[in-house]
Amino acid sequence: MAETSVDHAHDTHEHVDESQRWEGAVSPFGASYGKIMMWYFLVSDAFTFAGFLIAYGALRFSMPTWPEPDFVFASFPFVDAHWPLIFVTFMTFVLIFSSVTMVRAVQEGHRENQRGVVFWMFLTVLGGATFLGSQAYEWTTLIVKENVTVTQNPFGRHTADGVYLNADGSEAKNADGTPKTFFKDQSYLIHMHDGKPSGLVYHDPAQRGEGMTSHENLKIKYTTGAYAGQVKEAAFGPKAFGALFFFITGFHGFHVFSGVLFLAIIMINAGSGLYAARKNGYEMVEKIGLYWHFVDLVWVFVFLVFYLL
Amino acid sequence: MAEHQTYEEAKALVFRGLMLLGAITIIEVVVALLAKGHLIHGVNFSHGFGHYVYMLLMIGFSIYKAYFIIFFFMHMAYEVRGLVMSVLLPVLLLVWAIIAFFSEGSYWGRSRENIRQRNEETVKPASGSNTQGYYIIPGTEKQVKLG
């Protein structure tokens, strides 16, 4: 067993009398100025994200319906299938892996192992870039294919049970002659044609795993609820959804993007021997590591509120 | 620094962290797919008590993941108590912000629903003698003079 301590960078503070900590001899928190300031920056950043996520929660609670995540986030690259939450699980794993490689880089830094630091930081940069690419795919699908924008949300949910109608007002029929019905809380996507809503796309639970079913116009008739018997047009979902999704995942993605940039800069510096000359256990790697774990931490909560709840 | 880990112990912790975070994420997604009725036909927890349990479970898993990342990946477990408190205590104040704003959001929702219902109501003229110009507001028996 190697007896090398991973914490030896802090050993200079080891034998300080506790009462001396506030006397200016050493940092009262036993950590360097840079690390403490990184922690307080992360506290302030946590408040910014909390503000966004609380706004999301408050607006969601104020709406009678909200788009269902497993219906909205169900596409997967190169596969024409309805796979709820699978792609975003992949994205989550990418971030977990990049967090793990970051911890390894910090540990190799404590051992003053320059090659190890560069190797593990390179894997972390790759993980961050993969996450950004995945997010680009997700955004592209939502914007180009599903027509979600910051002011428009075609993902809605029925507020009561009912039946789909043909353009002439008669009840629409399935291939086997039964009426095309929907149920309360069932999700639909309004299909857009030349910028105008032209029909509905939905997942029929009776045809499990067989993808989506469509309906050519927006006309529906409710059979239960406050509007029973009335003919309506299926409405767009809560408008706030698009703005909240793009701002919050965008702000997180911006953190990932700047993280990747700084990781790359610090990786190049480490490779050039700059931090080895400082002989402080690669503290710069430790600081960018704190930031990078924070980005993963925020994703835990973005994943919770946007995709799981 | 409270604890000294050997290099091997530190590497083992990283591996354990990877397994733990990965396992929790997989459990979360499987439970989410089950609760939303994607795994077993006819079984879902999207309403009522089951939904409540589901949400608490997801929040609990996420808080545990956050705890593990902060305390072991970010080494908070090995920091001086003063630093730990000065970082975590301000963040705990957010619990009240969450309660207050979610309750406010529900109130916006109820107000909006109330306004929608009132907009669809129609007043009826009151009947009987001396009721010229009086109307009955739906849901009440009161006769009021409008305009």
A14-42 tens-digit pLDDT: 556 666 766 777 777 888 888 999 999 99
* Cβ–Cβ gap B108/A62 under 8 Å: yes
* pLDDT bracket for residue B4 (50, 70, 90): low
pLDDT tens digits for range B39-96: 877 777 777 888 899 999 999 999 999 999 999 999 998 888 999 999 999 999 999 9
Which chain B residue shows the shortest CA-CA distance from A286?
Answer: B74
CB B21 within 8 A of CB A16: no
Q: What is the pLDDT of residue A12?
A: 47
* Min distance A103 CA to chain B CA atoms (Å): 6
Of B32, B55, B82, the CB nearest to A85: B32
Cα(A21)–Cα(A24) distance, rounded to whole angstroms? 7
CB A137 within 8 A of CB A171: no
Cα(B93)–Cα(A47) distance, rounded to whole angstroms? 10
Domain extent listing, chain A: 27-150+240-308, 155-233
* Cβ–Cβ gap B36/A96 under 8 Å: no
Which chain A residue shows the shortest CA-CA distance from B105?
Answer: A58
Cα(B71)–Cα(A209) distance, rounded to whole angstroms? 41
Which chain B residue shows the shortest CA-CA distance from A62?
Answer: B109
pLDDT tens digits for range B111-145: 999 998 888 887 777 777 777 778 777 777 777 77
Residue B15 three-state SS: helix
Which chain B residue shows the shortest CA-CA distance from A41?
Answer: B87
* Cβ–Cβ gap B74/A50 under 8 Å: no
Task: For domain A27-150+240-308, give the CATH superfamily.
Answer: Cytochrome c oxidase, subunit III, four-helix bundle (1.20.120.80)
* Cβ–Cβ gap A89/B33 under 8 Å: no
* Cβ–Cβ gap B5/A296 under 8 Å: no
* pLDDT bracket for residue B104 (50, 70, 90): very high
| SS3 annotation, chain A | CCCCECCHHHHHHCCCCHHHHHHCCCCCCCCCHHHHHHHHHHHHHHHHHHHHHHHHHHHHHCCCCCCCHHHHCCCECCECCCCCCHHHHHHHHHHHHHHHHHHHHHHHHHCCCHHHHHHHHHHHHHHHHHHHHHHHHHHHHHHHHCCCECCECCEEECCCCEEEECCCCCECECCCCCECEECCCCEEEEEEECCEEEEEEEECHHHCCCCEEEECCCEEEECCCCCCCCEEECCCCCCHHHHHHHHHHHHHHHHHHHHHHHHHHHHHHHHHCHHHHHCCCCHHHHHHHHHHHHHHHHHHHHHHHHHHC
Low-confidence ranges of chain A (pLDDT < 50): 1-13
